[in-house]
Structure 1
Amino acid sequence: MYNYEQNQKPHLLNIYHDRPSQHQKRVIFAFVSLFIIIFAIYGNTFQVPFHFDDYVHITHNKKLHITELTLENIKKTFTHYNSPHSIYRPVAYFSFALNYFFGRDNVTGYHLVNISIHLTSSFFLFLFIFNTLKLPAIKEKCDSNAYLISLLATVMWASNPVQTQAVTYIVQRMASMAGMFYIIAMYLYLKGRTSNRAYAQIIFFVLCSVAALLALGSKENALMLPLSLIFYDLMLIQSISKENIKKNLMFFLLCVLIVVGFGFIATYGKPLSPFAAYKIRPFSLTERVLTESRIIVFYISLLLYPMTARLNLTHDITISYSLFNPLSTIFSILFIGSIIAVALFLAKKRPLISFSLIFFFLNHIVESTILPLELIYEHRNYLPSMFFFVPFAVLFIKSLSYFAYKKSMQTIITVFTILVIVGQGHATYMRNYTWKSEGSLWLDAVSKSFYLSRPHMNLGKYYFDKGFIGKAILENKLAIKFNRYLNTGYRVTPHLNLIACYFKTNEFDKVIEHSTLAQKINPNISSTYDDMAAALIETGDLDAAYVNIKKSLSINKNNALAYNILGRILLEQGHFQSAVSELKKALNIDSNMTEAIINIALAYRQNKDYSESIRHFKMALLKDSNPQSFENIYANLGLLEVYALIGDRKALKKVSSNLVSSVDKERLLDMIANNSRSHLDTRILYSELKESYLSKGEDFFLKTEEISKLNPK
């Protein structure tokens, strides 16, 4: 067994050879420095909202919304959001569940955890590099400057703006948490490997195994850990020699088998099943591998020159169709091959530099080679780039040493290095402002990747949520125009978004048009038939609406909305009993469906059963007590009309007074004049509300042409 410093007492943080007090001061200084830097550059992220994949993985993932820490609840958090049986990144998912347990949807807690993970990763990276520089293989060359090299390399990594996607983007805690446990595992392995006490070795190796499993439970790219440790041990602990290479060959093959075995287990015995996803990708396996060579070179350039103008959530990358199309493909492959060749050439003389280079490429293998994932994301650099800046930190120290007798050059080099770190920190801080809202994030993505459909689609959703319907329509049309995806989900979504937009603008012919297009892309989405039926009701084609809603129910028998729409169709056709029956089916599925309750109230009103109509309108108001919601206003308007019909002036005035005091006048006018779905007598509504406003000395007038459209129903 290799012995490291025979006479030294083992200690978890024993990274320095001086007396303990000096060692502790240096460790504390390093931690405090990292703490200040990281919280300074990420301090503006605590109110950054959820974005993009945050919704599907966290806010809409009911499995994570635990209110009690029971074993059953905890077990549910370990599974994929879309499958009750598939274990999926359980460590990361459980951490999100804990965030929800303590703070619900308050993003501050999520960001505090993310930043703390980044701080922990940085601190253990510092410890690991420092301990590595004390190994006999490189001790003579770096021992005296080990502390400065370790801290400088760590600060350059931690402050790099490329890491913002793994730290600020909440869901990418998966990447940062995997990186954190990965570097902790490496540190514990080093402590165990260099300890001269058997019990200490056992403790460190057991803890290393636990950290490795936690890393793998956070994200699958941690699978490269065994290979990283083999290379590390061979190059930096044992040192390169023919004998050591032969001795470690069996361990290397064992690690490869572990990786392959995990892949076999993760795919439930079907290791080729993930490759079926190429059917929905706009690239083949060969094209992906070729393209990734250029992406890796881009990642390197991004780490070296991380200007905010170059950072993007969704990069637009041209696919490589061959070695020479585009020509940069072959040059990228040659560049990567040259770096790896240099790393292998330096393995014996410069093992630290060699390992840093090999580590980068090795840990990009999972996400940047053959698997049919999205081509590019910045957060994929979090783990691979951990040792990226070690050679630069060594170069800095060597440069200072080389110019030992030329103070001016030392000053220039030092100032330049400080400016680089300050510049990186500032760029990180500024990049975080891009994440401040969905609008700022997707506007940034659109400006940098205009010809990608996804940014337009998400910007369109943002505009829709904010009420900018015209802009939402434009962005979703651009999303359709620029679509390259074969995935039906991405192809159909802009059409679904446009359907929602055109309902807002009462352009029902366009709702029908995009419902038809959506059905052609994917005929198994029940909501497209719901939307088509709702639009056909507005155009008066009840027979076609009936056919569509029946199709919807054949796809999803538990579709409350479909039963509600079917009830509306039957109500329009005058089938009172059948309409109420279908509407009650909707309520059996979703008892809080206010619209179905209102439609039942309308059915009873149409059947002149005014007491039941009033009861259901009041029931709707109990379900939706928000005076500004459409359903609440509509239920009050329904009550207003029924009270007018039965001559209950006292109750009528009370409802009218509530509407006048709580709802904006223009909104009431708009609902009366333009709500084509209304089954109410809009002349009565206009007359009664006008009287209420006039009694307060206020105007309440529609234009003559608008009054002419008010028809009793």
Structure 2
Amino acid sequence: MKRTTSHRRSALTASSGKQPASETRKVRASKSDPPRGVSFSMRTCIALTAAAVVLAFANSFYGVFLFDDQPNIHENMSLRSLQATWEASGTDVPSGLWNRPVGRWSLAVNYWISGLEPWSYHAVNLAIHLVASLILLDLLRRTMHLRGTPLWIREHANPIALVVTLVWAVHPLQTESVTYIVQRLESLMGMFYLATIYCLLRGARSRRHWWWYAAAVASCWLGAFTKEVMVTAPVVALLYDRIFLSRSWLTVLRRRGWVHAMTLPSSIYLVWAARRLPLLPRPASRPSIPSPFSDYTDPWNYLLSQPGVLLHYLQLTFWPRGQCLDYMWPVADSWPEIVLPGLVIIVLLTASFVALWRWPRLGFVGLASFLVLAPTSTIIPLRLAFEHRMYLSLAGVSLLTVLAAGWAIRRSIDDPTQQRRVAIGLSTIVLLSLIVTTHLRNTVYYSRLAMFQDNVAKAPENIFAYMNLGDYYLEVDDPASALPLFQVTTKIKPEDARTWTCVGCALKELGKLDQAAAMLKRAVELNPDYSQANHHYAVALEQLDDWPAAVEHFEKAIAQDPGNATIHNDVAVALGSRGLFADAEGYLRQALLLNPEHGEAHTNLGSMIMSQGGSPREAEFHFREAVRLQPDSREAALNLQRVQQLAAPAAVGDRKQKG
């Protein structure tokens, strides 16, 4: 408003003859006026944002399915058709997608487009992140133009919004939400979170406010059905309304009370729904690797450990070195690990509340960043640290940092031209560095081997990093490389049955059955209720011809994990080796009921059908499925070729009879 008034006064003065136009220009360019910024149109800002995001994440398309992609995509039968997704009940859906139908449907559409080819999943992830970036760009720009914003920020609203958005959009911390496929749930939720506030702002400044308010409510509920972190969005939207759009709480209630009344129930729903969720996702049924998902701590220890985690997030924000997909962050168990980080976080949180009182707009940014992190960084015991949790909060840190840098430049440099040069140069250096770092971080997602090796290097105390790398070597028939990795885990956690189970599996693959049985027996003694230990111990005992003991442990394994198709497959193999073909066939059919895309079970059932003189067509079907699911399996390919050769003469005979 001040700028418009001064322009009107200058125009009136010039037209009245009291002051020449040249003098007016001198007044406008005087030292007391704020410096003019670089002229960035909104179209230019949009184009630069899109180009930067695509450039930073172009190589994300080379990424493969990793970790939680396995249970949520590869083994998720509810994605196999849109009808299956619609009809899926709670028991058919992996826990990582429980009460998250929007995210589940997005994955189902990807499966419909490209099956288990990752390219379409990456395309959608990139599109979600780009849309979120553009929403953030316009949200920042429009917010900075609101009444009460310092004049120098309003006059530079476009370039400031652009730099903040670019820092947020191309930051390496975002790779876990963009390149890691299943974590699109975080970026999709973030997009709806930003859209809720953006539509609220647009509605307050538009004649068609009903449409914008309806979009705000819809965005809030879509976010709630995407991920539980959305629980704080109605609170943040309410604070934004009061601080930026309204003069009082009464104004909020009078003008947009009904909007907030329709969004707040989404938070209530999420709190209620969270009570029905397991605290951690169920693991995939892996043939040799135990689940890491039972290693969570109680709420109190979780809360005491979070300050150190939050400071690590901040460190990665300013110096993104040492990123790790799975930290297996240790519980803080000493006073220095608890008190010192805790004091820093208390100071930052207190500063946010003080700023909320003294400088509400700055305080809002700090408090909103904490509120976004609150569901995963307070007392709900999940895994302690994951970088994708900073997806939205990074925007707040970026905004405060860019504003602080702009303020420092204005205070330290008087010449407006020099100010612009320094700002542009500094922004360019930072953004290019972030884009290059993000591009390099994406390369770790190119293969499971690269990711597992990176995880071992970054988290040397994480037993599951070693287990995953060892499991990879087992899958490529290199148990000799897997064994030393598994042995490291027994030194890190000698009382953990899972570590000895892995050692036993590697020894079994090396043909050292006696040693394998000894390791697996120790695992069973440490944890008699651990299904994987009983499962692999039973396999070793059967190979050692101790059939009665093998049956006992097979039965225990199935009772402990009745939904594990791999256990049923291995029982069938053991029964088949003893000539019990009818029983073996029953277990194989049960395995395929549990997991219709279990490649080994298809191969074994096809072989079982052929060995008993069954239908060649049915056997061919199972071999075809095995080849589709395991294209590198030589056994499946040879079996398919043989059954096709057997079926060819029969098909010729049928044609002759018909003729």
SS in 2 for 1:136: coil
* Residue of structure 2 in register with 1:451 after alignment: 461
**1:294–1:332 Cα contact (<8 Å) kept:** yes
* Offset at residue 230 of structure 1 (A): 2.0
Cα distance between partner residues in 2 of 1:206 and 1:243: 21
Q: For residue 287 of structure 1, what is the amino acid of its counterpart?
A: N
Equivalent positions of 1:204-603 (< 5 A) are 204-238=212-246, 258=265, 261-267=268-274, 280-281=294-295, 283-307=297-321, 310-315=322-327, 317-321=329-333, 325-347=334-356, 350-402=359-411, 403-405=413-415, 411-483=421-493, 493-520=498-525, 523=528, 528-529=533-534, 531-549=536-554, 551=556, 556=562, 559=568, 561-569=570-578, 571=579, 579-586=580-587, 588-589=589-590, 593-595=602-604, 598=607
Q: What is the distance in 1 between the residues matched to 2:511 and 2:127?
A: 49
Of 398-407 and 131-140, deviating more is 398-407
Change (3 A) 1:622 1:102: closer
1:10 matched to which residue of 2?
none
Residue 606 of structure 2 contacts residue 622 of structure 2 at CA under 8 Å; is this kept in 1? Answer: no
Structure 1 match to 2:46 = 31
TM superposition shift of 1:253 = 12
> Which residue number corresponds to residue 7 of structure 2?
none
CA distance in structure 2 between the partners assigned to 1:232 and 1:424 by the alignment = 29
- Give the structure 1 partner of residue 191 of structure 2: 180
In structure 2, C-alpha distance between the alignment counterparts of 1:251 and 1:287, rounded to whole Å: 40
Aligned residue for 2:62? 47
Distance in 2 separating the partners of 1:457 and 1:79: 28
**What are the Cα deviations for residues 60-85 of structure 1, in whole angstroms up to 9, with x where unaligned?**
1111121xx44x5424288773469x
In structure 2, what residue type is equivalent to 1:320?
A: A
Contact map agreement 1:560 1:585 (CA 8 A) in 2: no
Q: Deviations over 1:110-147 (max 9, x none)?
A: 11111111111110001111111111121645221111
The 1:636/1:522 distance shift into structure 2, 3 A limit, reads farther
Picking from 156, 175, 179, the partner of 2:167 is 156
Q: CA deviation at 1:546?
A: 4.5
State the shift of 1:379 in Å.
0.3
CA deviation after TM superposition for structure 1 residue 332, in Å: 2.3
Residue by residue over 1:325-383, the C-alpha shift from the partner in whole angstroms, topping out at 9 and shown as x without a partner, is 24253232222222233333333553332221111111110000000100000000001
Describe the shift of the 1:206–1:165 C-alpha distance in structure 2 as closer, same or farther (beyond 3 A). Answer: same
> Is the 2:571–2:584 contact (alpha carbons within 8 Å) kept by the matching residues of 1?
no
Displacement, 1:236? 2.1
**Residues 49 and 107, structure 1, Cα contact 8 Å, conserved in 2:** yes
Which runs of no fewer than 5 residues in structure 2 stay unpaired?
5-38, 283-291, 593-600, 644-648, 650-659
Which one is further off, 256-265 or 221-230?
A: 256-265
Aligned residues: 578
Question: Residue 190 of structure 1: CA displacement?
Answer: 0.9
Judging changes above 3 Å, is the alpha-carbon distance between structure 1 residues 421 and 208 closer, same or farther for their aligned structure 2 residues? same
RCO higher in 1 or 2 (8 Å CA, sep ≥ 6)? 2
Displacement after TM superposition at 1:302 (Å): 1.3
Per the alignment, residue 103 of structure 2 pairs with 92
Larger radius of gyration: 1
Cα distance change of structure 1 residues 65 and 552 upon mapping to structure 2, 3 Å threshold: same
Amino acid across the alignment from 1:364: L
- Matched to 1:265, the amino acid is W
After superposition, give the CA deviation of every residue in 1:570-614 in whole Å (9 maximum; x if it has no partner): x4xxxxxxx344234345546865446656877x8xxxxxxx6xx
Q: Percent identity?
A: 21
Tell me, yes or no, if the aligned pair for 2:203 and 2:210 is still in contact at 8 Å: yes
Which residue of 74, 84, 87 maps to 2:86? 74
The whole-number CA distance in structure 1 between the counterparts of 2:617 and 2:254 is 81
TM-score with structure 2 setting the length: 0.77
How much has 1:32 moved relative to structure 2? 1.1
- Aligned pair in 2 of structure 1 residues 597, 225: CA closer, same or farther (>3 Å)? closer
* CA distances 1:403-428 after superposition (whole Å, capped 9, x unpaired): 23275565445422321111111111
Seen in structure 2, the aligned counterparts of structure 1 residues 27 and 529 have a Cα distance that, compared at 3 Å, is: same
Q: Distance in 2 between matches of 1:318 and 1:552?
A: 30
Decide whether aligned partners of structure 1 residues 548 and 426 sit closer, same or farther in structure 2, where only a CA change above 3 A counts. closer
- Residue aligned with 1:105, SS: coil
For 2:584, the aligned partner's letter is L
The aligned residue for residue 686 of structure 1 is: none
Q: Deviations over 1:22-59 (max 9, x none)?
A: xx982221111111101101111102100111111111
The question of whether the paired residues in 2 share the 8 Å contact of 1:168 and 1:432 is answered with yes
1:104 equivalent to 2:115? Answer yes
Range with bigger deviation, 403-412 or 368-377: 403-412
Equivalent residues of 2:224, 2:270 under 8 A apart: no
Residue 466 of structure 2 aligns to which amino acid in structure 1? H
* Letter in structure 2 aligned against 1:81: V
Distance in structure 1 (CA, Å) of the matches to 2:398 and 2:348? 15
Give the Cα–Cα distance (whole angstroms) in 2 for the partners of residues 428 and 275 of structure 1. Answer: 28
2:141 pairs with 1:130 = yes
Could you say what secondary structure the match of 1:364 adopts?
helix
2:19 aligns with none
Matched position secondary structure for 1:435 = helix
Aligned partners of 1:256, 1:184: CA distance in 2, in Å? Answer: 13
The answer as to whether partners of 1:400 and 1:410 remain within 8 angstroms in 2 is no
Tell me the secondary structure at the aligned position of residue 155 of structure 2. helix
Q: Quick one: which amino acid aligns to residue 392 of structure 2?
A: L
| Whole-Å separation in 1 of the counterparts to 2:95 and 2:339 | 41
Give the Å deviation of 1:246.
12
Tell me which moved more, 560-569 or 434-443. 560-569
Aligned residue in 2 for 1:56: 71
Q: Secondary structure at the match of 2:199?
A: helix
Is contact 1:164–1:431 with CA below 8 Å preserved after alignment? yes
In structure 2, what residue type is equivalent to 1:459?
A: L
C-alpha spacing 1:254/1:274, structure 2 compared with 1 (3 Å): farther
Greater mean alpha carbon deviation, residues 511-520 or residues 619-628: 619-628
Match of 1:119 among 125, 130, 149: 130
Counterparts in 2 of 1:433 and 1:65: CA distance versus 1, 3 Å: same
Change (3 A) 1:36 1:338: same
Shift of 1:516: 2.5
Distance 1:40 1:279 in 2: 35
- Contact 1:580-1:600 at 8 Å conserved across structures: no
2:61 counterpart SS class: coil
Kindly tell me: are residues 634 and 352 of structure 1, through their superposed partners in 2, closer, same or farther at Cα, counting changes over 3 Å? same
- TM-score, reference length from structure 1: 0.72
Q: 1:89 offset after TM fit, Å? A: 1.2
Partner of 1:711: none
Q: 2: CA distance between counterparts of 1:617 and 1:495?
A: 42
CA RMSD of aligned residues (A): 4.1
Matched letter for residue 76 of structure 1:
A
Taking a change above 3 Å as real, the CA distance of residues 631 and 495 of structure 1, as seen in their structure-2 partners, is farther
Alpha-carbon distance, 1:520 to partner = 3.8
Letter in 1 for 2:327: H
